[in-house]
Amino acid sequence: MTTKAPSPVKPGVPDSLEQIAYASVAGIPVRDPHDRDRLGYNIWHWLKNRRDPLAIVVQTTMARLEIPEAEALQRIKEVLTSRGITV
């Protein structure tokens, strides 16, 4: 039985919506890393569509945050604003 090396992963463009979304949640403490991934995905989806307010998106993600939801929302807004995205 042989094992091949995994395919190389090419990093995304730093200014892409995906990178911005996941960077906005990178510093938020959560119980499980998958919670952060789910939150990042929902932020990315919000950046594409902007149907609901950002506060609703953070709330409906149901991520198990280790900080208050309002503080997480504030941190996300600060990162998005620093990247030039109006919230």
For the chain, what are the domain ranges?
17-82
Q: Is 58 exposed, middle or buried (0-12, 13-18, 19+ CB in 10 A)?
A: buried
Phi first, then psi: give them for residue 30, nearest 5 degrees: -130, 165
pTM: 0.84
What is the token pair recorded at 29? 């403490």
Cα–Cα distance between 52 and 12 in angstroms, integer?
Answer: 26
pLDDT of residue 77: 96
pLDDT by residue for the chain (87 residues), tens digit each? 668 888 888 878 888 999 999 999 999 999 999 999 999 999 999 999 999 999 999 999 999 999 999 999 999 999 999 999 988
